[in-house]
A and B are shown apart, each in its own frame.
Chain A
Amino acid sequence: MSPLHGWTPEALGDAGEVLPVVTAPDAVLSRPGPEVDPSDPKVVRLAADLLATMRVSPGCVGLAAPQVGVAAQVFVVDVSGHPKAATVHGAIALCNAKVVEASRWRPGREGCMSVPDLTGDVKRAARVVVEAALPGTGEPVRLTTDAFEARALQHEIDHCAGLLFLDRVAGAHAIHQRKVYL
């Protein structure tokens, strides 16, 4: 397995297209996405579209295939420059990602582009090891990260499994009306 450092979105060889973001209660957000063939040109295209859509969305640090209406295990993340980020791998596009190790659980309040009016208090691991395949080459990668990047990866992996942060909130009073929009 190769490290992920040095990977760039240009590796996708596709500028991608900005797609509309779907919001709950759209059924696609609650459907587990199937594993994909990372070398399939359609999957590469999807990853490029996700990157393009994330780039034009203010404050967006991650976007998963179900959020553009496609049930599939593909997502992108980029937490570069975020104040809560520690380890940063830059722009990441992953297929069939799995959390294989998780520790240091921490609470935090999350918002999601697909649930625009609510936020929720969610416990996530502050250190994770994720195994996945890169779109295009299909090369397997093993990614170790922490802090905000770890939270973002878990949030997107959840999307691929048909789960929203609403499925993981800490309690009945752990959802809140969202007050600040970026």
Chain B
Amino acid sequence: MSELAITVIGHDRPGIVADVSEALARLGANLTDSTMTRLRGHFTWTLVCTGPAAPEADAALAPLAADGRLLATVREVGSEVEAAAAGEPYIMSVHGADRLGIVAAVTRVLAEAGGNITDLTTRLTGPLYVLVAEVDLPSGTADAVAKRLAEAAAGLDVEVTLRPAEMDVL
């Protein structure tokens, strides 16, 4: 089955999630995975749903964006099959004084090592910049990646830690 990737971003107010999900439910769209947060006060929701065609979903969401305070985009995507676990899960934390290029520099180190970022959050609060990422690293590469991250972090004057994302099965 084909899937729709939808993003809704804009001025935050109570009721956006209810409005968007209700409009999609009326179309018979089945919400699967989604993640919503507020970024510097902007409402942001990225979601995947199955069911309707993209133009129908577009039309259903258009009234919500009519006042220009929300932007909704709809795109048909192929049904994604989750890639098999490629390596070992790690959590990288970076924090320090904000400056240009922190994300680019540290994520380039991960990419060059064949690491795949599976979750990422960045926040700027006052002068403090914080980045937390979950990354799958190829087996046995963590020590080398940690060393290269430390070098990159020293160049940016930020702190970086890389630790295993430990999970206990109970």
Contacts and interface: CB of A to CB of B under 8 A. Distances in A.
Interface of A: 59-62, 84, 108-113, 119, 148, 151-152, 155-156, 165, 172-173, 176-182
Interface stretch (B20-28, B63-71, B162-170): B162-170
A60 to B, nearest CB: 7
Contacts of A59: 169
Q: Is the interface of A mostly helix, strand, loop or mixed?
A: mixed
Contact of A176 (B134, B166, B170): B134
Contacts of B82: 177
B37 interface: yes
B170 A61 contact: yes
Contact of A155 (B36, B85, B136, B170): B170
Residue of B118, B121, B134, B168 with most chain A CB atoms under a 10 A cut-off: B168
Nearest to B134: A176
A141 B100 CA distance: 60
B134 A152 contact: no
A119 B167 contact: yes
Contact of A110 (B35, B121, B165, B167): B167
B170 A156 contact: yes
Query: Which interface class (under 10, 10 to 19, 20 to 34, 35 or more) fits B?
Result: 10 to 19
Nearest to A114: B170
B119 A176 contact: yes
B115 interface: no
Closest 7 CB pairs of A and B: A155-B170, A111-B169, A179-B85, A109-B167, A59-B169, A119-B167, A62-B170
A172 B35 CA distance: 9
B168 A108 contact: yes
Residue of B37, B121, B167 with most chain A CB atoms under a 10 A cut-off: B167
B117 to A, nearest CB: 13
Contacts of A176: 119, 134
A156 B134 CA distance: 28
A182 B169 contact: yes
Contacts of B166: 108-109
A179 B84 CA distance: 8
Nearest to B35: A173
A113 B167 CA distance: 13
Residue of B167, B168, B170 with most chain A CB atoms under a 10 A cut-off: B170
Given A62-B170, A108-B166, 9 more contacts: A59-B169, A61-B168, A119-B167, A151-B170, A152-B170, A156-B170, A172-B36, A177-B118, A180-B167
